Structure 1
Amino acid sequence: MTATTGKVTGAAEAVARLVTPGAVVGMGGQNINRCPMALVHEVIRQGIGELTVVGCNLSLPLDMLVAAGLVARTEQGTGNLERYGTLFAWRRAVERGEVGVGDHSHLAMATRFAAGALGLPYLPTRSLLGTDLLADMVAAGYARQDVDPWSGVPVVLLKAMIPDVAIIHANRADISGNVVIEGVTSHEVDMVRAARATIVSAEEIVPEGTFADRPEQVTIPEAYVSAVVEQPFGAFPTSVYRAYDFAESEIREYQALGRAGDEELRRWLTANVHAGTDFDAFLTARDPEGSLRARLTDQMRSLV
């Protein structure tokens, strides 16, 4: 890191430095929107394992990490690709007892990140009261039922979630690490603020000072960002609002392999992730002429 490059680095360097075996990894993105695919591919290439992956909807990135044998536990609101089905590798690993699960509601997970972002040991909520989910969370040690000392009504205390590292993909960032996310951010802002370190991949890196006269555009300020990686189409095959749509054909292909079995997914990872040197090589292999990426870009332009 130098005065001229700020926090800009390559994905391989950022992942090697900030994602360690056994780490708690906060996962950005939601379902088929703005998932940090380039960074997840790099974690897989480097074989960094025994990870605990946390987030709201842990979708395609989680399933790939599980298929690669790198996940020990997840704590999440859900794990699926909605209309494209469940996460098959993750589900099978959970059923075999190979991956532990801490089941949450989305709001409970977001509240735990909010507590971490505020530097608090816990936050109270009235969500989860009267549910079986609460009993499981109490037993797991990250929720307690208590009483509001002022009103006497029941409340739930949710333990702060503090990831060792958060990984997210964004629309753009400057070289100092000021990040702009367009569209829905879900849990990501609080997750990043709570995390001990954060890697951001971005569609575009802009010069320092770009946001000086428009600070309201900055979603996450530089103080919370450890490393920035420039990676166009870094969320592919998921979408990035105002940049490109999701690649349905790619998602359907992956899910078909997931239904077929773990060996099919491992072969896909070998051929598509391990075979290339970086994410650009993956993109070129999947879309040699760039026609798919051009079409996805056009589709997004027609929507916004």
Structure 2
Amino acid sequence: MALVHEVIRQGIGGLTVVGCNLSLPLDMLVASGLVARTEQGTGNLERYGTLFAWRRAVERGEVSVGDHSHLAMATRFAAGALGLPFLPTRSLLGTDLLEDLVTSGVAVESADPWTNRPVVLLKALTPDVAVIHANRADTSGNIVIEGVTSHEVDMVRAARVTIVSAEQVLPAGAFADRPEQVTIPEAYVTAVVEQPFGAFPTSVYRAYDFAEPEIKEYQALGRTGDEELRAWIAANLGGSFDDYLKNRDASGALRDGLVEQMRRLV
């Protein structure tokens, strides 16, 4: 969230945003008028509903969409990470996603050269920039993500530039005596920045839970319309991320509660 806030603050637009589930950060970018295209498995906040700004922008034709399955997106990142032009899959066969992906040049229907069974070849995805948030990093760029990872590691390996915000940045060599903790090695990372609560109001495993009141408030505004969302963004995201945290939780009580909620979960 912190890195996306900075993109919004700087007004970096004309973006193509890619990922598996593009959730709250995408909706804020779209509401700010910064997104031209998305390529994704889905875009939602799960039990809290759809991304309203994104949905309206797609319906109006303001944002174009490359619709994938989650596995198709992960496969494209994996191809990029391996330095391959494509990877095969069977997961899209028999779906209504395949025709559009073939038309857009992302997928090709082919056959297994050994069995002649049908397969789909998915084009590698190599983002210009990957941004992720992590539990810890060192100043050399070694990254620790606790818990189960999804497509993030392959996305980072496939990207040309990777910027990581972390709850804590430690001195270089901090993980030298426990290298097995490193999820992403420094060779793949361009820059790191320390930002406590950098995923707020979403969660970080083993650090803090998500802030349900904040998400519900944002979704209520999203249902109302784009003007309300833009007003909220102007009021909250114009300064630094620390300013945003102080504005939304001046006493720190909410954040303390989220830390305690996560402690009870794990």
Normalised by the shorter chain, which TM-score bucket? over 0.9
Counterpart residue number, 1:139: 103
Query: Shift of the alpha carbon at 1:104?
Result: 0.2
For residue 255 of structure 1, the aligned residue among 185, 202, 219 is 219
For residue 130 of structure 1, the aligned residue among 83, 94, 115 is 94
TM-score (structure 1 length as normaliser): 0.87
Q: Superposition pairs for residues 156-235 of structure 1, below 5 Å?
A: 156-235=120-199
Identity of matched residues, %: 82
The residue type paired with residue 73 of structure 1 is R
Q: Secondary structure at the match of 2:237?
A: helix
Query: Shift of the alpha carbon at 1:184?
Result: 2.5
Counterpart residue number, 1:148: 112
The residue type paired with residue 139 of structure 1 is T
Deviation digits for residues 264-296 of structure 1 (CA, Å, limit 9, x no counterpart): 00000000001x2x1001000100010000000
TM-score (structure 2 length as normaliser): 0.99
For residue 201 of structure 2, the aligned residue among 237, 249, 253 is 237
2:63 is the counterpart of 1:60: no
Counterpart residue number, 1:291: 253
**2:204 & 2:87 partners in 1: Cα distance?**
31
Counterpart residue number, 1:21: none
Counterpart residue number, 1:34: none
Query: Shift of the alpha carbon at 1:200?
Result: 0.1
Counterpart residue number, 1:110: 74
2:241 is the counterpart of 1:279: yes
Deviation digits for residues 66-115 of structure 1 (CA, Å, limit 9, x no counterpart): 00000000000000001101000000000000000000000000000000
Q: Secondary structure at the match of 2:26?
A: helix
Q: Give the number of the structure with larger relative contact order, counting CA–CA contacts within 8 Å between residues 6 or more apart.
A: 1
Aligned residues: 266
The residue type paired with residue 297 of structure 1 is V
Q: Following TM superposition, where does structure 1 have runs of at least 4 consecutive aligned residues deviating by more than 4 angstroms?
A: none
**2:60 & 2:245 partners in 1: Cα distance?**
33
Q: Secondary structure at the match of 1:109?
A: helix
The residue type paired with residue 199 of structure 1 is I
Deviation digits for residues 94-144 of structure 1 (CA, Å, limit 9, x no counterpart): 000000000000000000000000000000111111111111110111000
Deviation digits for residues 12-70 of structure 1 (CA, Å, limit 9, x no counterpart): xxxxxxxxxxxxxxxxxxxxxxxxx0000000000000000000000000000000000
**2:34 & 2:44 partners in 1: Cα distance?**
18
Q: Secondary structure at the match of 1:65?
A: helix
**2:251 & 2:96 partners in 1: Cα distance?**
51
Query: Shift of the alpha carbon at 1:236?
Result: 0.1
Counterpart residue number, 2:3: 39
2:262 is the counterpart of 1:303: no
The residue type paired with residue 289 of structure 1 is S
Structure 1 unaligned regions, length at least 5: 1-36
> What is the root-mean-square deviation in Å for CA atoms of aligned residues?
0.5
The residue type paired with residue 264 of structure 1 is E
Counterpart residue number, 2:14: 50
2:92 is the counterpart of 1:92: no
Query: Shift of the alpha carbon at 1:186?
Result: 0.9
**1:90 & 1:163 partners in 2: Cα distance?**
20
Deviation digits for residues 193-213 of structure 1 (CA, Å, limit 9, x no counterpart): 000000000000011111111
Deviation digits for residues 156-201 of structure 1 (CA, Å, limit 9, x no counterpart): 0000000000000000000000000011221100000000000000
Q: Secondary structure at the match of 1:97?
A: coil
Structure 2 unaligned regions, length at least 5: none
The residue type paired with residue 82 of structure 1 is E
